[in-house]
A and B are shown apart, each in its own frame.
Chain A
Amino acid sequence: MSNLNMVEAINLALKQEMEKNKDIVLLGEDIGINGGVFRVTEGLYKKFPNRVVDTPISESGIIGMSIGMAIYGLKPVAEIQFEGFTYPALDQLISHAARFRNRTRNNMTASLVLRSPWGGGVKALEHHSESPETYFAHTPGLKVVIPSCPYDAKGLLISAIRDKNPVIFLEPKKLYRSIKQDVPEEEYAIPIGKANILSEGSDLTLITYGSFVRTVIPIINSLPYSIELIDLRTLSPIDYETIINSVKKTGRAIILHEAPRTLGIGAEISALIMENALLNLEAPVLRVTGYDVVTPALKLEDYYRPDEAKIKRAIERVMNF
């Protein structure tokens, strides 16, 4: 057991999985000698010199190549340096990675992992604080996973690597170094497609993912309500069983995410709750989200991200409906 932050937990997962499975090859920009711009792959090039590959600036190339590598029997774990740069690779992801199994009726699959630092709240420039997860979650054939703590990061990454489908693994950079947890040395896998109830409650179900799972804790601690906090962990496929059971118990739900509101994960979950738990609802399902605007650069970013006041207002509105 060691007390690790998320960067270290991911590094540990990669190292251990690469030791176990000789077919795992990492590829991406600046991940080898430099150890990744966030140091996530630190030390891996030294340990596995021919299995950590520095690539040219070629996002479509990185993913396209990963597809070929996966089909030929390797397990590529590709890194795209920032979530805002996955866009050039969207064609390869959506037109091919997501479809090879279907296109060949199971004869071939593009079983790859795409890792990318994700989300805002780190005072970055444009393109470095995006929320593209819905594009991936909306693509049949892809799985989308976002851990919210070091322990989950290791367990989910191990599952992602072992999954036979293409998995997008988004790492909240706001959480990279801001929490430390005890992470077991031995291997463990957290199942993909299973949400996590961080704390049980009877008044209200708060569903969220990514960095907000952590930053919302002091906010709910300060309120007198008994709030059931759910970390989605997987955005595709969504664990709607856990969500529905919770809402049937509490009768109230709020979905919180930094991605823009329209057609975000909140909209999907809101529909699921309405379809499956209408008779238990005591208040409308509210979404607390970013605005439908381009994610602002650092100076105005705090106005975009749901802040404490906005979250509290939504909770009060639902509790006092």
Chain B
Amino acid sequence: MNYEFKFPDVGEGIAEGEIVKWHVKEKDFVKKDQVIAEIETDKAIVQMPSPKEGVILRLNKPEGAKIKVGEILAVISDSKDPIQEQKEKPKSVSVVGELEENTLENKIIKKETKDKKSVLATPSVRSLANSLGINITTIKPSGKDNRITESDVQNALANKPLPAEESSEQPKILKKFDFFGYIERIPLKGIRKTISDNMIKSHDAIPSVTHFDEIDITEISRIREKEKTNAEKKNIRLTYLPFIVKALVSALKEHPFLNSSLEGENIILKKYYNIGIAVDTVDGLLVPVIKGCDGKSVLQIASEIEKLADDARSRKINLQDLKGSTFTVTNVGSIGGIFATPIINYPEAAIIALGKIYDKAVVKDNSITIRKILPVSLTFDHRILDGAEAARFANGLKLRLEDPNLLFLELD
């Protein structure tokens, strides 16, 4: 057997050396511990003793070459006469090739087998379940041969409870300080994580511009004051929001590109009007969706907004009610602030942020008067539409809110 003398770890973190000098040549016979080479590391020049007696069959690198720890320095034969080694004809050599003797492992290590629930489903149905985050083994099959169909998956989705991370749980504190001082570490998960992911997605994908404007909401304010009690009789809390939503839908019908989505190389114009209303909850922003706002009255919208907002805050809301919006409204003004640069609720085309309604002295009909002003910030997807269109839309919204009779005229 030939011995491969590898450059050993000479210590102190040395990884590499340079061969300064060979003290032997190939075919030399060496005794054990006889110095065969000098190697320079960045600490010192080290002398390499031979680990065994034998004949130098091969010096693997020349003087001056670099050698890493673990690389072969030299090959030393067993016997005094290396030629003798070769005389013994390996008996498993055929006329061509080399056969190994007794080198293969035969025993297979048994691994724990799992009792898997076997389900039948086509690859496309499996993929659908996966993308909706449903464990396919929990779905009831209704297809032929007991297979799970696409509608089985959709049914499972409808019955699925909201993925709730226990947010009341105290986050685990992993490390109490970093290099500069004490810290508290809160893992990003649950709704916060979802929001984080969505914001990144929207921000990365959409080149957005925010268009600011102020809307004179005084007329709406009067109507609201007047009709508040009527609404209360129907158990409906009438806020500005339902009026704004109705006006938005009218304006969207005139400016369809703000009610759209960019998918690949196609702009998908939505012919339905589902308005998402951002709701601030303890765990973060949720966006319940009022479906079919074009077919609903102000009162109906008001009622739905209230219900969905309550459901969202109490975490009882259905997954379906959080999906399908075509345009989103975020009413940060209820807390405070004038303008903002809201981030579009991906994959919609625009989002409008409503600032705090405030009394402002304005010039109207050549005189100074006090009007109620609603600041709005409209962020839009510049890939789909331009500032001019956004401005026109904003004007359309403004027109209807400043002259509510238009809404009455557009009633269908």
Contact = CB atoms under 8 A, between A and B. Distances in A.
Interface of A: 5, 37-38, 82, 117, 122-125, 128-129, 149, 173-181, 198-203, 214-215, 217-218, 220-221, 224-227, 229, 248-251, 278-282, 298
B410 interface: no
Interface of B: 92, 94-116, 118, 120-123, 126, 145, 147
B104 A214 contact: yes
Nearest to B113: A202
23 contacts: A38-B94, A38-B99, A123-B98, A124-B98, A125-B96, A177-B99, A177-B101, A178-B99, A178-B103, A178-B104, A179-B102, A179-B106, A202-B114, A202-B115, A203-B114, A214-B104, A214-B106, A217-B107, A224-B111, A226-B112, A227-B111, A251-B118, A279-B145
Given A226-B113, A280-B120, 18 more contacts: A37-B94, A123-B97, A124-B96, A125-B97, A128-B96, A128-B97, A173-B94, A174-B100, A177-B99, A177-B101, A178-B99, A178-B102, A179-B102, A181-B106, A217-B105, A251-B118, A278-B123, A279-B120
Contact of A221 (B95, B100, B101, B108): B108
A54 to B, nearest CB: 15
Contacts of B123: 278, 281
A203 B102 CA distance: 30
Given A37-B95, A177-B99, A279-B122, A225 B111 contact: yes
Contacts of A179: 102, 104, 106
Nearest to B106: A179
A221 B109 contact: yes
A83 to B, nearest CB: 12
A117 B95 CA distance: 12
A214 B102 CA distance: 12
A227 B111 CA distance: 8
Contacts of B95: 37
Contacts of A298: 97
A197 B379 CA distance: 63
A279 B121 contact: yes
A173 B99 contact: yes
Nearest to A124: B97
Given A177-B92, A178-B103, A215-B104, A201 B111 contact: yes
Nearest to A223: B111
A199 B106 contact: no
A97 B81 CA distance: 55
Nearest to B118: A280
A56 B116 CA distance: 59
Contact of A220 (B98, B99, B100, B108): B108
Which A-B residue pairs are the 9 nearest by beta carbons?
Answer: A124-B97, A122-B97, A279-B120, A202-B113, A226-B111, A221-B109, A199-B108, A178-B104, A128-B96
A175 B95 CA distance: 16
Majority secondary structure of chain B interface residues (helix, strand, loop or mixed):
loop
Contacts of A37: 94-95
A183 to B, nearest CB: 13
B158 to A, nearest CB: 24
Nearest to A227: B111
Contacts of A178: 99-104
Contacts of A248: 118
A45 to B, nearest CB: 18
Contact of A176 (B99, B113, B120): B99
Contacts of B110: 199
Nearest to B110: A199
Given A201-B111, A226-B111, A226-B112, A217 B106 contact: yes
Contact of A122 (B98, B111, B112, B116): B98
Contacts of A215: 104
B19 to A, nearest CB: 27
Nearest to B114: A202
A199 to B, nearest CB: 4
B107 to A, nearest CB: 7
Contacts of A129: 97
Contact of A175 (B98, B104, B105): B104
Interface hub of B108, B110, B114, B116 (most chain A Cβ within 10 A): B108
A176 B92 contact: yes
Contacts of A173: 94, 97, 99
Nearest to B107: A217
Nearest to A274: B123
B100 A177 contact: yes
Contacts of A202: 113-116
Nearest to B147: A279
Nearest to A30: B95
A225 B110 CA distance: 10
Contacts of B102: 5, 177-180
B130 to A, nearest CB: 10
Contacts of B114: 202-203, 226
A123 B98 CA distance: 6
A181 B107 CA distance: 11
Contacts of B122: 278-279
B154 to A, nearest CB: 19
Contacts of A201: 111, 113
Contacts of B106: 149, 179, 181, 214, 217
Contacts of A218: 105
Residue among B115, B122, B126, B147 having the largest count of chain A Cβ atoms under 10 Å? B126
Nearest to B120: A279
A225 B108 CA distance: 12
Contacts of B96: 82, 124-125, 128
A226 B112 CA distance: 6
Contacts of A5: 101-102
